[in-house]
Structure 1
Amino acid sequence: MNEETEALYREIKCCTVCESKLPAGSNPVLTIDNRSKILIIGQAPGKKVHLSGVPWDDQSGKELRIWLGVTEEAFYDSENFAIIPMGFCYPGKGKSGDLPPRIECAPIWHERVLAQLQNIKLTLLIGQYAQSYYLQGQKYKTLTETVKNYQNYLPRYFPLPHPSPRNFIWMSKNQWFKKEAVPVLQEQIGQILHKT
């Protein structure tokens, strides 16, 4: 990555803006590289990712890589994928899973990160928080409808549900996702990564 991108990366890694509100303290998790071709915008790191410092280093990440049709090696190659969450740090546990991403991160950092990522061909918006922030008036009433109408957002965005094991019920109710959307997603990813 170039010096400017590396400086921004180091700056984000040192961020403590909302540390006092984070039960596990701050540990911003991201991957950015000015050469990245695909941008993944997720929710916030879970506890396991908070501890490892490696984005999507959990069961959700394994499922996401299956959806994308990529190996772990390809996924963690920053020339392929830049990875930023809506909230860069683990927000803590809520009553039914992790708390929502902290709202401070995206307004402070996302615009500056995107300015460095000039080679992005496709942005994956994973979950309702990323979709609400980036699609705003263009998203449908529910995440299901937004994901079902993914074609409307191409070639810029591809909205996805969260690949968490907690979403098993959603997956079983919406089998069209793996049958119809995932093959298109894999085709898009393959075309971008294998363009010479």
Structure 2
Amino acid sequence: MPELISLIEEVRTCTLCSEHLEHGVRPVVQLHEKAKILIAGQAPGRKVHESGVPFDDASGDRLRDWLGIDKATFYDETQIAILPMGFCYPGSHKGKGKSGDLAPRPECAKAWRKALLSKLERIELTLVIGQYAQAYHLGKRLNVTETVKAWQDYWPDCVPLPHPSPRNNIWMAKNPWFSENLLPKLKLEVARILSS
């Protein structure tokens, strides 16, 4: 545990990509060696950057609903580890003809990910959210939809998920199989792991 604590302290003071972050550096992670479930996400959004609390937004509300757990369980670091691909808010696409946030900065994964993951030896389930996390953890597929559709290929160790952002409401409506088939099984597996 001392090694992980030391690594987390280093992460919290990391400034590797500060020159690229218009809103400044604020790494947001949640890690403990006893964690059983790993949430591998993209990068903190603006609200999370301001609060310093992972998934402290509408995306987090939806994600907790998908998992069938409450906030107390979600923020229990001995149960749930949260390690995004980029630890700081990357900024948004404003004025570039696109919506949403920029891609996670690549420096975090290169500098920290392997070492941090090696300390999480009790992980039984990894939730892989969005294209950047899926590319890192699962290898590339055609797109997020195709990867999530193939979720049984990775079950029960990993589950690829779309981003739980309200921006994905249209995706959810177009892919009812996600709520009908994947989520019930995911909730049961999360409950099993957390009760063991």
Q: 110, 119, 123: which one pairs with 2:122?
A: 119
Question: 1:5, CA displacement in angstroms?
Answer: 1.3
1:89 match: 88
AA aligned opposite 2:6: A
Question: 1:155, CA displacement in angstroms?
Answer: 2.2
1:42-53 equivalences under 5 Å are 42-53=41-52
Which secondary structure does the structure 2 equivalent of 1:86 belong to?
coil
What's the CA shift string for 1:115-173, capped at 9, x where partnerless? 1100000110001110011111xx43121111111111022211000000101110110
1:32 match: 31
State the distance in 2 between where 1:57 and 1:3 align.
27
AA aligned opposite 1:98: D
1:23 match: 22
What's the CA shift string for 1:47-80, capped at 9, x where partnerless? 0000100000000000000000001000000111
Which secondary structure does the structure 2 equivalent of 1:101 belong to?
coil
State the distance in 1 between where 2:156 and 2:60 align.
23
2:135 match: 132
1:55 match: 54
State the distance in 1 between where 2:48 and 2:69 align.
20
Aligned length: 192
TM-score, structure 2 as length reference: 0.96
Asked if 1:153 is matched to 2:154, the reply is: yes
Asked if 1:187 is matched to 2:150, the reply is: no
Structure 1: unaligned runs, 5 residues or longer: none
State the distance in 1 between where 2:6 and 2:86 align.
20
Structure 2: unaligned runs, 5 residues or longer: none
Percent same amino acid at aligned positions?
53
AA aligned opposite 1:128: Q
1:72 match: 71
Which secondary structure does the structure 1 equivalent of 2:86 belong to?
coil
CA RMSD, 1 decimal: 0.8
State the distance in 2 between where 1:37 and 1:25 align.
31
AA aligned opposite 1:167: N
State the distance in 1 between where 2:173 and 2:70 align.
25
Which secondary structure does the structure 2 equivalent of 1:7 belong to?
helix
TM-score, structure 1 as length reference: 0.96
AA aligned opposite 2:63: L
AA aligned opposite 2:16: V
Which secondary structure does the structure 1 equivalent of 2:137 belong to?
helix
State the distance in 2 between where 1:192 and 1:121 align.
7
